[in-house]
A and B are shown apart, each in its own frame.
Chain A
């Protein structure tokens, strides 16, 4: 294209209105921010839902002003629970680490001007937003939101509202939302993988990619393969619900005294399809966080990531093995008990690359020069929570022990610690770390630290006791403890967790205050406030359109060259040619 037409285009862009630049933008940075704010809205809603749940568990007969009838019913509790899980898993944990931060920083970290398919990228976001709105609309229809959990097992979810309130229109909207979300994810994955494969800067070989890029790449591959399967399962569920097919509905069902005319489908078939997606999904939620943590630990220890190749390999191994273990959600499902042993062996095997990563994180810290600013604190917190949550999984990985713990609060503790805490700490670490780059300003460091201490203590107080509730036999997805008589003895633990939950949720207000206030009036950030080595730190904060002001970088070394003996400064940026190293390259920036 001629320079004349390029100038014309540029002028046109500048004159493009607010809508074209900030709403219907194809710029990966804007899209990344759009996903980020979507995730913030989702996590706020999801947290409020969980607080209502925790409140009800302890005070089930309390009068709540905003509920028709005053007292929360069991089905309302289940609706809150279903939507809490669904919103958090899809619109927070699948969105923020990958779609938000990945979109913003993948092109920057590989030295690209944008994603490979910017318009497809925009479409992905708008589909995700549509899915979110459809999901929320389930609250507003007659019958309300579905009550079948985020796992939506048929026949409970497959027969319409004869199985319970919310199972009519609410469940239909839920499935529609999930199907739209699947498409959005598939399109997004195609973008991430193509961009990473085909648009890396000259000199950026695979082994010079930051671990964040590795994580986003493997996560996108998982997304591509897993969401395709969920989509298929969802289509079959829709057909069972509206077209009288019987993929998941067996013959001879009698629901509330009414005989159902279905033929020989299998509820287990849904479980297999769902968990074939569902297990990779949890790795989709955690892998980007692992990449960010490695990245941040190196930066703030002023040391290379210990065992970079092993770390990259472990990301791939976790991704691959993640497809082979889905049966561990189904040990007591009626599945062939021999399959359980196979799934069990594969599941404990996934503990190996996870342990390798943990050892290597510790190895990164040892011998380092640790600087405990907010991103580093949350990254270290991630390691602690990943250790706790990962180890608790070993119990569940063995079918004999799982027989005692399945569907108890022990499972809830396990997955909350890995997903609802560790993955969130990954998101928070990434937010504190990349805030200067995204918004050109600094967050308050003291507020960040306060947020960390309160949250770190708070979430351990919420979720550690949950293990004990489960071991003692506290069953999950119970609206309250007035059923089996032994549950009453566990109420003190529930009370403690609820109070801790409210305090911890309140502490997040510190983060929101810090975040939004700093966008508006935080101290101005320089290009590279953390003295980091990777490419996103070589350009303006925030980066201009096109990312690198026309001077696209080449890469001369690995991504974690910190404290190299004999170097002039304690970090060697990836983009500086060897001959410029002595002068330190661009002017040094100061971090506070």
Chain B
């Protein structure tokens, strides 16, 4: 009986089938180049590009909406806690950099320590954002109240969801690091993501202030 051609795809391992190579790439003598570590960095850059486009689309919508003549744009004052949240996020970026510097200097224990602090600061940031929402609700400003409040909630929840993803990534790298990436690569890409979200937040915050 002839094997189906699709079966043959996976029947015989050609020796060095993909996935067999370790994080440094290439099995012995098989010539399998594997996945170079820099591909993960490329991937993260691209992901950040996509995320940036997404937020740019929201910003364009905000600019256009705000600029309507006769519009019902009632600017809202961003809750004061946002200043604290921004500070927390900036500090978390600093602690994250610290963690990576320790890793490079082979001070693993300290590296994990700062990594953990970053994670906790991230959680505090999210809690702070929820508090900001609570404050808006008390002032009677909900998602559909007016265009300005709509955008506030859309920006903060979109950013917040990405931060949640970042916290998850921080935890995963700490607890169960992916096998195909070196420690260095893993921490690099998470750091890129985190720093990007920090800068993105500062941009959003500035926008919300400008809209006032």
Contacts and interface: CB of A to CB of B under 8 A. Distances in A.
Interface stretch (B36-44, B79-87, B106-114): B36-44
A519 interface: yes
A58 to B, nearest CB: 41
Contacts of A190: 43, 46-47, 50
A401 B101 CA distance: 62
Interface stretch (A71-79, A261-269, A293-301, A562-570): A261-269
Interface in B1-35: 4-6, 8-22, 27-28, 30-35
Contacts of A235: 154, 158
A27 B10 contact: yes
A540 B16 CA distance: 16
B178 to A, nearest CB: 10
Contacts of B13: 10, 13-14, 544-546
Interface stretch (A87-95, A243-251, A355-363, A484-492): A243-251
A29 to B, nearest CB: 6
A419 interface: no
B42 A198 contact: yes
B54 A229 contact: yes
Given A243-B143, A266-B65, A1 B21 contact: yes
A446 to B, nearest CB: 21
B174 interface: no
Interface string A210-247: 00000000000000110111011101100100011111
Interface stretch (A152-160, A409-417, A469-477, A549-557): A549-557
B14 A197 contact: no
A224 B14 contact: no
Interface string A9-50: 110011000000110011101100100000000000000000
Nearest to B31: A552
A186 B47 CA distance: 8
A549 B43 contact: no
A17 B14 CA distance: 19
Nearest to A232: B57
A193 interface: yes
Given A113-B32, A199-B33, A239-B143, 10 more contacts: A6-B27, A13-B13, A27-B18, A113-B34, A197-B42, A236-B58, A245-B143, A247-B150, A519-B5, A542-B6
Nearest to A8: B20
Which 4 pairs show the lowest CB-CB distances between chains A and B?
Answer: A232-B57, A440-B5, A546-B17, A228-B53
A272 B60 CA distance: 10
B6 A439 contact: yes
A446 B18 CA distance: 38
B51 A228 contact: yes
B61 interface: yes
A545 B18 contact: yes
Interface of B: 4-6, 8-22, 27-28, 30-36, 38-40, 42-43, 46-47, 49-58, 60-61, 64-65, 68, 70-72, 143-144, 146-147, 150, 154, 158
Contacts of B8: 440, 540, 542, 544
A181 B49 CA distance: 18
B61 A549 contact: no
Given A542-B5, A551-B31, A9 B19 contact: yes
Nearest to A225: B53
Contacts of A6: 16, 20, 27
A550 B42 contact: no
Contacts of A112: 33
A193 B46 contact: yes
B50 A189 contact: yes
20 contacts: A116-B35, A190-B50, A198-B42, A228-B54, A232-B55, A245-B147, A245-B150, A246-B144, A265-B147, A266-B68, A272-B64, A519-B5, A544-B11, A544-B17, A545-B14, A547-B14, A549-B14, A549-B15, A550-B31, A550-B32
Given A26-B19, A228-B54, A550-B15, A116 B147 contact: no
Contact of B17 (A13, A197, A438): A13
A541 B57 CA distance: 45
A243 B64 CA distance: 21
A118 interface: yes
A455 B122 CA distance: 59
Interface string A175-209: 00000000000100111011101110000000000
Contacts of B17: 10, 13, 113, 544-546
Contacts of B33: 112-113, 199, 552
A247 B72 contact: no
A398 B17 CA distance: 54
B32 A552 contact: yes
Q: Which of A189, A199, A543 has the largest number of chain B CB atoms within 10 A?
A: A199
A199 B34 CA distance: 8
Contacts of A25: 10
A186 B50 contact: yes
Contacts of A313: none
Contacts of A540: 8
Contacts of A341: none
Given A29-B9, A232-B61, A198 B39 contact: yes
A310 interface: no
Contact of A269 (B18, B30, B64, B144): B64
A76 to B, nearest CB: 33
Given A194-B39, A544-B13, A550-B32, A224 B50 contact: yes
B43 A244 contact: no
A10 B68 contact: no
A543 B9 contact: yes
Contacts of B61: 232, 236, 247, 269, 273
Contacts of A247: 61, 65, 147, 150
Interface in A98-121: 112-114, 116-118
A317 to B, nearest CB: 20
A494 interface: no
A548 interface: yes
Contacts of B55: 232
Contacts of A441: 5
Contacts of B30: 550
A239 B154 contact: yes
A520 to B, nearest CB: 8
Contacts of A10: 13, 15, 17, 20
A583 interface: no
Contacts of B147: 245-247, 263-265
A231 B54 contact: yes
A592 interface: no
Q: Which of B4, B54, B57 has the largest number of chain A CB atoms within 10 A?
A: B57
Nearest to A544: B14
B12 A544 contact: yes
Given A13-B10, A247-B150, A546 B54 contact: no
Nearest to A236: B61
